[in-house]
Structure 1
Amino acid sequence: MHFSRRIEHCPMCGTRVEHRIPDDDNRERAVCPSCAHIQYVNPLNVVGTLPVWGDQVLLCRRNIEPRKGYWTLPAGFMELGETCEEGARRETDEEAGARIEMQGLYCVMDVVSAGQVHFFYRARLLDTDFNPGPETIEAKLFSEADIPWQELAFRTVKLTLERFFADRSTGQFGVHCADIR
């Protein structure tokens, strides 16, 4: 399976790479015929939160592609130099301008076709003053009955919300894992 992040040139010397299985490996890699550097392409981490205020959850309407205009949990790509939790907190601030208290890892989902792993943390909103950044059209609280299910941007968001409302009904919150294929 090839992803959109396919390497064409060596990041070390700029030579056009060959795609082949290196010795002592079992997967096709980008191998430089000039300097022998092997470039590995690994999944990207998407980190975010499921912010809660009373019986409502915070969703953000996307102002960027993909899925511009659709609703999502505040999340985005983890940056180098930060933990998953730090990235989730940063993304919540950048996308929703929301102040939160982290409450622990909630969902881990492998999105194999996109080469991503999504991590969502439960979070308690400290107030309802939101200041969305440029990637967000609006940030809004929704009760379970009012979630715009047909307008959710991503399957991972839908699954996270479904699991949250099921867990909330029992009062038991665990860590959920899923493979999205």
Structure 2
Amino acid sequence: MSNFVRRIPEGPPGGDDRERLVCADCGYVAYENPKIVVGSVVVEEDRILLCRRAIEPRHGFWTLPAGYMELGETTEEGARREAWEEARARLELDGILAIYSIARIGQVQIIYRAHLSEPGIAAGPESLDVRFFAWKDIPWDEIAFPSVRWALNAWKAGHPGVAGNPVEDLRGVAGL
């Protein structure tokens, strides 16, 4: 088993300036980088697909079909896979809605606009329930994460390009 210590790796002047996990025996640097989350705002007849989480964090709260990318898949493939795993939904992606940088938890979230490519949804193993909600019926007090609210608001606003972190909501900033 390697003996990792947290320190600034040795290297050329002006090189790495952050503490990293470095093997004290061989000098191998174990980089810790942000995780990429992919998901979708799935809309059918002006109703939005939400999934009630069957897993932590935020068990029982509503979220978009989304989750961590896997190695060997594109962001599009990941978004479609997550929709299948959580809502048994087959999707057609309509472009990127938003990219959120959430430094405090080491995530970058890529959220697509989407619609069903085949009819039908059902709760997958990571969901207690899945439903389409009209805007006025969204359970806002039971939304799992701030970025879900951001994405829903970006969709509702008809954001013409790719939305980013709301400037008025500092929860994506490091240290908060």
Residue in 2 that maps onto 1:65: 56
1:104 correspondence with 2:95:
yes
Q: Matches of residues 37-52 of structure 1 in structure 2 within 5 Å?
A: 37-52=28-43
Residues 97 and 154 of structure 2 are in contact (CA less than 8 Å); yes or no, is this contact kept in structure 1? no
In structure 1, which of residues 16, 22, 27 is the aligned counterpart of residue 9 of structure 2?
22
Residue in 2 that maps onto 1:11: none
Residue in 1 that maps onto 2:169: none
1:176 correspondence with 2:163:
yes
The CA deviation at 1:36 is 1.1
Segments of structure 1 that go 5 or more residues without pairing to the other structure are: 1-13
CA 1:141/1:128 → structure 2, altered by over 3 Å: closer, same or farther?
farther
Residue in 2 that maps onto 1:9: none
**How far apart, CA to CA, are the structure 2 residues paired with 1:36 and 1:81?**
28
The CA deviation at 1:108 is 0.5
1:81 correspondence with 2:84:
no
Aligned-partner residue type, residue 26 of structure 1: D
In structure 1, which of residues 155, 160, 163 is the aligned counterpart of residue 154 of structure 2?
163
1:34 correspondence with 2:25:
yes
Aligned-partner residue type, residue 74 of structure 2: T
Residue in 2 that maps onto 1:151: 142
Residues 86 and 127 of structure 2 are in contact (CA less than 8 Å); yes or no, is this contact kept in structure 1? yes
1:92 correspondence with 2:83:
yes
Name the SS of the counterpart of 1:15 in structure 2.
Answer: coil
**How far apart, CA to CA, are the structure 2 residues paired with 1:101 and 1:78?**
18
Question: Normalization by structure 2: what TM-score?
Answer: 0.89
Aligned-partner residue type, residue 36 of structure 1: G
Aligned-partner residue type, residue 8 of structure 2: I
What is the count of residue pairs matched by the alignment? Answer: 164
* 1:102-159 deviation digits (Å, cap 9, x = unpaired): 1011110011111111111000123551122111001100011011111000000000
Name the SS of the counterpart of 2:155 in structure 1.
Answer: helix
Segments of structure 2 that go 5 or more residues without pairing to the other structure are: 167-171
Aligned-partner residue type, residue 40 of structure 1: Y
**How far apart, CA to CA, are the structure 2 residues paired with 1:36 and 1:22?**
8
Name the SS of the counterpart of 2:165 in structure 1.
Answer: strand
Deviates more, 1:61-70 or 1:22-31: 22-31
The CA deviation at 1:173 is 3.0
- Structure 1: 4+ residue segments shifted above 2 A: none
CA RMSD of aligned residues (A): 1.3
Aligned-partner residue type, residue 56 of structure 2: E
